[in-house]
Structures are given as structure tokens and as C-alpha cells.
């Protein structure tokens, strides 16, 4: 009886792949998302679409996915969300504990951060509110928004040598 109750309470459909429990089905492909939807899926997920909070996924959770670029997409999402998190912290609207996020708090944070993102990275985009998160990633990358620790570390070592 207890196991049947647990199955009924389950929010996400999970599966096995290579003897490992996975929250993402083998055929899963990240949906097209604008930056707001990415942020919502990152912090809250979407039970209706069987998307767990993307922030909870490790590289092992997407490694088995059929489409080869899903791991690369996940890494790019991490970069975008790192910048969004930094901007939200600067505005004092970031909540550290993932479980404390609600749809209302995500929208409050987004309302504070989106004008900054649009001003910094989406200036020359015709419809910035409709831009895909991947376009935002490209614009952020072009603007050197990502904290590339490897390059900085390498630069420090070369500076100390010369």
C-alpha cells in the first residue's frame, strides 16, 4: 500500500538508462525557451511537461539523451543562469535555497533583472522579450559576460612568469 501511495504522489516520470535512475527520458529534447521560461524551468521546473527544476540536473542526468547537443545546451544554460543569478544578487532579489522559489518570487526577480539583461545584451534585438535563451547566450558570450576562470587562471600564471 505504501509504495502505491508514493507512486501517486510522484511529480515527475522517471526512467532507467544503463542501470541508472534518470529524471529525463531518453528521447527528451530541451524545448525552445525564452530567457524567462528558462529561468522558470531552471528554478521551478514544469510538472505538466515533466521538466524537473533544471538547476537540480547534473551532467549525468543529460548524458544519456538521444540528441547529442543536449549536454552542450545544459552547459550553456548554466552560463546564462550564472549571469542572471549575479544580476539578481546585485539587485538583492536572489534566493539562495532552490526550494524557497515560487512562481511569484521568480517573476519578482525577473522583473528586476530583465531590464538589465535587455540593456546589456539585447540592445540590438528587434523583440528582446521574445528572444530565445540561446540568442541571449550568444550575446552574453560576445560581450564576455561569462566568468571564465580557466582563462583568468592561465592569464595570472603567464603574468607571474613574465
How is residue 17 annotated by DSSP?
A: E
Higher per-residue confidence, 123 vs 70: 123
Partnered with residue 16 across adjacent β-strands are 21
Q: Is residue 160 situated within a structural domain?
A: no
Within a domain: 153: no
Of the two residues 5 and 49, the one the predictor is more confident about is 49
Range of the domain at 23: 2-147
The pLDDT assigned to 87 comes to 94
Mean pLDDT of the chain: 78
Q: Which tens digits make up the pLDDT trace of 57-84?
A: 877 777 666 655 767 788 888 999 999 9
Domain annotation covers residue 123: yes
Residue 155 pLDDT more than 50? yes
The number of CA neighbours under 13 Å toward the Cβ of 134 is 9
What is the grid cell recorded at 105? 518570487
List, in order, residues 6 or more apart from 16 with CB less than 8 Å away. 22
> How far apart, in Å, do the first and last CA atoms of the chain sit?
70
12-30 residue pLDDT tens:
555 555 566 666 666 677 7
Contacts of 101-105 with CB under 8 Å at 24 or more apart are 101/43, 101/44, 102/44, 103/40, 103/44
Residue 59 belongs to some domain of the structure: yes
For the chain, the domain total comes to: 1
Single pTM value for the model: 0.75
Amino acid at each position: 500500500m505504501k509504495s502505491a501511495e508514493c507512486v501517486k504522489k510522484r511529480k515527475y516520470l522517471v526512467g532507467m538508462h544503463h542501470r541508472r535512475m534518470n529524471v529525463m527520458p531518453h528521447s527528451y529534447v530541451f524545448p525552445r525557451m525564452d530567457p524567462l521560461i528558462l529561468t522558470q524551468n531552471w528554478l521551478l521546473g514544469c510538472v505538466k511537461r515533466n521538466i524537473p527544476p533544471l538547476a537540480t540536473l547534473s551532467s549525468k542526468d543529460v548524458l544519456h539523451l538521444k540528441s547529442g547537443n543536449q549536454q552542450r545546451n545544459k552547459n550553456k544554460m548554466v552560463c546564462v543562469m550564472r549571469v542572471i543569478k549575479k544580476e539578481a544578487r546585485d539587485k538583492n532579489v536572489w534566493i539562495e535555497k532552490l526550494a524557497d522559489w515560487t512562481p511569484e518570487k521568480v517573476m519578482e526577480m525577473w522583473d528586476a533583472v530583465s531590464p538589465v539583461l535587455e540593456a546589456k545584451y539585447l540592445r540590438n534585438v528587434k523583440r528582446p522579450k521574445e528572444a530565445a535563451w540561446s540568442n541571449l547566450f550568444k550575446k552574453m558570450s560576445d560581450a564576455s559576460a561569462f566568468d571564465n576562470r580557466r582563462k583568468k587562471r592561465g592569464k595570472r600564471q603567464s603574468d607571474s612568469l613574465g
